[in-house]
Amino acid sequence: MLALRSALFMVWFLCLTLILAILCLPLLAGPRGGAVWLGRVWSKATLWGLKVFAGTHMRVTGTPPAGPVLVAAKHMSMWDTLALHLALGDPGIVLKRELLNIPFYGWYLGKAAAIPIERAAGARALRLMTDAARKVLDQGRPVLIFPEGTRKKPGAPPDYKPGVAGLYAMLDVACVPVALDSGVYWRGFWKRPGTITLAFLEPIPPGLKRAAFMPLLEQRIEQATQALVARAS
């Protein structure tokens, strides 16, 4: 049954993605708002299919932030980007520039929400990323970053990168940590029934030194994530 439900969702997801990507190509030539609208439609439809075909629901705890803040989230699966995009409204998302080269997905993401990381830029990377993030904040939108830089399986040792601390210091805004347990339910092809939790935690005020900020951010995210995973497993 798990294999069948996972397969049905995959068919839904692939058909949905292909149809929307092709039909909405003209949006790439228009204002950014069109791509943002498409992203919300695609995210909602994907999560609807996940609920209907795989029996995987979601719940949000805490209060999703509004306005110009930095959001630092645990990253376990593709689900995270979809759910956070909806919960945060219209975030700018810090991501690897290579993702923008993916046909359709990367094109729309680059149009709607991307704050690309220029890895080849060396020391300039943080400045370029910060400049792009400031433009997002100036529009009254949140900036979303996955501080480990990649997806982590439940229970894997944390590996927080210094980029989040640099961005926090340069932007001088509050940082909202986010914990989740999506990796228990969304494991590649396999989709397990249940309820994924997206937890917005107590904000970290601006102005902390890196030596204080990094351990506090990791502690809040990891403790809350471990509790969610333990309850879901």
pLDDT digits over 10-26, tens only? 999 999 999 999 999 99
Give 88-113 pLDDT, tens digit per residue. Answer: 999 999 988 888 888 888 899 899 98
Cα angle for residues 39, 84, 186 (degrees, 5° grid):
95
d(CA 139, CA 142): 9
Mean pLDDT of 176-187: 97
127: number of Cβ within 10 Å:
13
Judged against a pLDDT cut of 90, whether residue 3 lies above it is answered with: yes
Contact 233, 154 (CB under 8 A): yes
d(CA 110, CA 48): 24
Domains annotated for the chain, with CATH where assigned, are 55-232 (3.40.1130.10)
